[in-house]
A and B are shown apart, each in its own frame.
Chain A
């Protein structure tokens, strides 16, 4: 078999990347449009609204698609957020790179100018980041955070669930209602104040940071999910001994449990873990209430046949016997007796199994009031090992006294029967001193579960990164606008220096020009990429068309006159209060300043987007191996090696 070479002089790769990125444009910003992905061969379809889920579901046959997917998944794995930004920027910058090529700018020039541009912008962004201590509620509405209430109270339909007293006012201005759902305009309007009285946390504003407030700043429109995150933080702080305030947040001590069938306002936060049990098992739990129990943890399956990973079972062992087996006991019976005796001897009440548990043994155990729970997540087992002192074992026969953990409480949380599922009781298992918190996500629309879960984890990790970085970037496109401004300033300076060369040329200027003559062109195209980002945000927010957005941004950039401060002008820019005759209330203007983005995630997403563009840009040939030369005969763009 030979190899086939496809020369990519036309830079199809960059075009493919742009096209791929365009798929996810509608996911940008807080108003996400869901997408249906349908598999024609199987007829399966799935509902997605995040960039990495789209790529996961697409059949990416082109090599660029695979490369993009690889990058996105790697980013997602580490940061759990920012994948959409990554792909968007990869798309717009690959278009920029393509335009550079059309203008006959050589590849090393494009690469060096673009990475220089990004370096400049990252540096400025870092220096313009906001410390989380400075992210404070505004004086007038301190304590009115929508996120501090219980999730039930904020789960309103953004359009219909308005406070009646304000309904009349708001109905007149439909566009405003739409705006409340937007990240840029998510206002803490008076409505919240009135509908959730007494539910505001008594956040400590004098010192330290207030997680609830930070959470709101990075909620990005996912108000419901973020309020759950705040609840988690509260619960963890309480377990931590920090009292009622939100002082800590540990994303590693957090698991989700999805329950279809219940409506969305049943979503809640519980300590420990939540599992689903059959009614039969649950009846046992009724007897186990309000007492501390002993627990053992099993890695692997709880069955006689199970052997640990890496054990090659020999199938052809046969038993020969010279006398009749009168007891009629099988090997499995022996094993079961053995296990049960061990469990009883050690006063075990609860067996948590990572894999599957033998049904017969489970039944037997139940008659001895031992609850066996299978399919526990490894993370949960790990937490139980840490908090109860139980030592996980692979085989139940291995168990001894020191493997048993103590101090576990079990209670029935909710009866979920009625949806004809075998496991129908949701049971809450909590170990003493555990920091583990479970978020129960419920929805009556089954296909929304994945989306809800993704959204929740997105929020959780945004908060996590906020606390980890201790810095935030101004959100709602302000950071991008800053980048545009910086690049334009550099273009201008560059131009001046070049012009000044006739007269008094600074040596530095000369060097810069000699280093890269196309710097200004590339910077402009790069800045256009960020402009595209802001305008897409504005488009998705429903404020204006893309063309209007560009016009507005450009006008504002001119008005700003090159000043590099992140002042109120930026908010004004995105709020456009100068255009729509006072549509914005003062509240909303203020709130636009309260949207923030994670610094590390964003800068890293930009960097990765550029990496992707560079890899594709610098590729000139696609080589397909293992192909029969006869297959490709007659294809003009293909050569055979």
Chain B
């Protein structure tokens, strides 16, 4: 009897993004992803409520798989990030941060979703074509004549996860191993049988807990776990025997001799008839006989082999390995050319045999493993990467990171380019599209059918979102800076706060506290006054608008008594905004009370105000000490380029010419490189997801 319960009707949520609960959860998710980002990111401990295994990670793949949300919009975003990761392995956090940031900026700007979507789409195209340009300033070619850029690429991936807890030497060792493994899996010459296609090999990872990281190694061929090998002296004898090649047979079917494959149901056996188990064993022994006559020397099975068959084979000098597990089957097939046999009732077809060049016992850490050598050179490239680490948590993270590095390296075969890491690509790209967007605003706005100010607002949000990704690399109260010439990202450690640079005479920035409801006006410029920037005291915020030659800015949009304004002001123009209907803003959005704008927190009743900076002068010019020696990626060196000027990230700095491209004639040692393919796709996924989420009008949930 089935119980009948009344079916509950579906729950429909109107404009989910306007609900505070949804926004709260999205902010939380954004914070989680942002805090995980980069080599100084924070770790998350994930476990279930009954005290299961504790996962400590900052890797998006592990994190997003473990953490589930009840919010459909979040589920949607999570799913698309995981989908991106399944294809590219890299840039998961990047996708998430950018996506949430875009949504956030659109909401804050007050732009209508349909307008914002149009603008985002157009800007995405600008970004994509920029990244695909030959002379794109944030791209470097991967030189396959040397390992340097490959190792840098691998190290950037490996060093980006603090839960691996690696010293610098260990990082270098693992990066080199990752590149070594990658190179081993690239076949030399054509794949036999299909001359126009190259088939990449496989890397099998073996992880060993409790050993030194520096014991990690890469071996050509395969390492197979053979736990009880020592029990069979014949096996060790076999492994010592001279060079091969040896003939190998591989089975995927269980050779345990049980009746499980007959399925359910009872079996009636006539008492005079032989035992079905014996019959199967006879069948198996026949198979063994054939293997012996066919001179098979290595006999492998994915599952269990009946001990009697094992015994028989060993008696005849055959090396027997059982319980390989499914994961090893494909690499073995690829390496040995064997066909996995799924039947034991019929004789083994001769073409199913494969070959190995030899076998030997290798002690890896505390484990003894059987090493199968690839049959010929150039080998169908299969290799084994043995990863050792001090504890399980760090080992798991290391394993994930190495697999990611392998994938990233493989992607370079398709596009032999890499992007500058350390946030430099984002800041550079933001500067580029900001400049391009501003200069071509009228044209672009016309073609999109939006007003120019809407376009500028959308552009601003987009650039800020890109910069937000670079800013996410910065934790621990560091300050993210961008230089005004090349638009690379620089981070200034905490405690080395920026006071001020020497400001050229006649310029000053002044920040004041504006009483609630009051409009902002530009300050009087006092000669030689100091600039405040960088670390923003609570309750104060900086906003720098570009105001031409002493012109005043009026901003009148007052939502809840607060006034904020931003925007680039062309020379000689004055901006004023009239009373704007709530929810819409031309220059800056209506910002909810107390919310953060750009980099600072604005306390209630306080307004931001920025001074006049004549003719696009630097907002901040470091006098040297606090800014690090190189930018995030290491391409721009401070010592080599005197006269660099910096401004804090995500404050509106003066409109300026397009960022310069650093000449790569004598490139300095690049510290961080990111995968081009993965990041390009991540950018597209993030923008498209943001657009999709912005476009969602109703969420209908079946609650049954």
Contacts and interface: CB of A to CB of B under 8 A. Distances in A.
Interface of A: 1-5, 13, 61, 63, 66-67, 70-71, 74-75, 77-79, 106-109, 111, 115, 119, 299, 307-314, 316-322, 325, 381-382, 385-386, 391-395, 398, 402, 514, 517-518, 604, 607-608, 611-612, 614-615, 618-627, 629, 639-641
A311 B256 contact: yes
Interface residues of B, number: 79
B258 A314 contact: yes
Interface of B: 25, 28-29, 32, 35, 40-51, 53-54, 56, 66-71, 74, 162-163, 165, 167, 209-212, 230-234, 254, 256-260, 262, 265-272, 276, 303-304, 306-308, 311, 315, 323, 366, 390-394, 475-478, 493-496, 625
| Closest CB pairs A-B (n = 4) | A310-B304, A394-B307, A106-B476, A316-B266
B254 A70 contact: no
A433 to B, nearest CB: 14
Contact of B233 (A385, A518, A626): A385
Contacts of B311: 391, 393-394, 398
A308 B28 contact: no
Contacts of A318: 266-269
B267 A312 contact: no
A64 to B, nearest CB: 8
Nearest to B394: A611
Contact of B392 (A74, A107, A319, A321): A74
A325 to B, nearest CB: 7
A61 B45 CA distance: 13
A624 B311 CA distance: 50
A319 B271 contact: yes
Contact of B267 (A78, A316, A618): A316
A510 to B, nearest CB: 10
B165 A106 contact: no
Given A78-B210, A308-B304, A625 B495 contact: no
B268 A61 contact: no
Nearest to B169: A119
Contact of B269 (A320, A607, A608): A320
Contacts of A392: 231-232
Contacts of A115: 167
A347 B494 CA distance: 81
A314 B260 contact: yes
A101 B494 CA distance: 13
10 contacts: A70-B392, A107-B475, A109-B494, A310-B254, A310-B256, A311-B257, A321-B272, A386-B233, A620-B42, A624-B46
A382 B67 CA distance: 46
Contacts of B54: 63, 66-67, 70
B126 to A, nearest CB: 34
Nearest to B629: A514
B67 A623 contact: yes
A617 B66 CA distance: 21
Contacts of A71: 390-391
Given A70-B54, A623-B46, 17 more contacts: A67-B45, A67-B54, A77-B210, A106-B477, A109-B493, A115-B167, A308-B304, A310-B256, A316-B266, A321-B272, A614-B165, A618-B162, A619-B44, A620-B35, A621-B44, A625-B67, A641-B69
Nearest to A617: B43
A615 B43 contact: yes
B423 to A, nearest CB: 16
Contacts of A3: 46, 67-69
Nearest to B315: A402
A626 B48 contact: yes
A580 to B, nearest CB: 42
Contact of A320 (B46, B212, B270): B270
Contacts of B47: 63, 66, 622-625
Nearest to A385: B231
Contacts of A518: 495
Q: Is the interface of B mostly helix, strand, loop or mixed?
A: loop
A67 B393 contact: yes
Contact of B271 (A66, A70, A321): A321
A311 B304 contact: yes
Given A313-B258, A618-B163, A382 B393 contact: no
The interface residues of chain A, by DSSP majority, are classed as: mixed
A623 B41 CA distance: 16
A288 B390 CA distance: 50
Given A607-B390, A615-B165, A618-B163, A624 B271 contact: no
Given A386-B233, A618-B163, A70 B67 contact: no
B48 A625 contact: yes
B81 to A, nearest CB: 15
A619 B43 contact: yes
Contacts of B48: 624-627
A307 B269 CA distance: 19
Nearest to A389: B233
Contacts of B163: 615, 618
Nearest to B26: A641
A625 B70 contact: no
B43 A627 contact: no
Contacts of A607: 390
A627 B162 contact: no
B399 to A, nearest CB: 15
B271 A320 contact: yes
A427 to B, nearest CB: 24
A108 B492 CA distance: 13
A317 B267 contact: yes
Given A74-B209, A615-B163, A619-B44, A309 B304 contact: yes
A63 B377 CA distance: 49
Contacts of B43: 615, 618-620
A625 B270 contact: no
B25 A106 contact: no
A308 B257 CA distance: 10
A629 B232 CA distance: 56
A317 B276 CA distance: 9
A80 B315 CA distance: 38
B592 to A, nearest CB: 19
A173 B96 CA distance: 72
A373 to B, nearest CB: 18
A129 to B, nearest CB: 17
A394 B312 CA distance: 12
Contact of A108 (B25, B40, B394): B40
A317 B25 contact: no
Contact of A106 (B32, B53, B307, B494): B494
A608 B391 CA distance: 8
A30 B87 CA distance: 56
Nearest to B477: A106
A608 B366 CA distance: 18
B231 A619 contact: no
Contacts of B262: 314
Contact of A74 (B44, B162, B390): B390
Nearest to A321: B271
Nearest to A629: B70
B307 to A, nearest CB: 3
Given A67-B56, A393-B311, A624-B49, A641 B390 contact: no
Nearest to A394: B307
B304 A641 contact: no
Contacts of A614: 162, 165
Which of A106, A398, A627 counts the most B-chain CB atoms under 10 A from its CB? A106
A307 B234 CA distance: 24
Contact of A107 (B70, B391, B476): B476
Nearest to A78: B210
Given A398-B311, A608-B390, A611-B391, A619 B42 contact: yes
B367 to A, nearest CB: 11
A640 B69 CA distance: 8
A13 B392 CA distance: 19
Given A317-B269, A621-B42, A641 B74 contact: yes
Contact of B66 (A75, A517, A608, A623): A623
B45 A78 contact: no
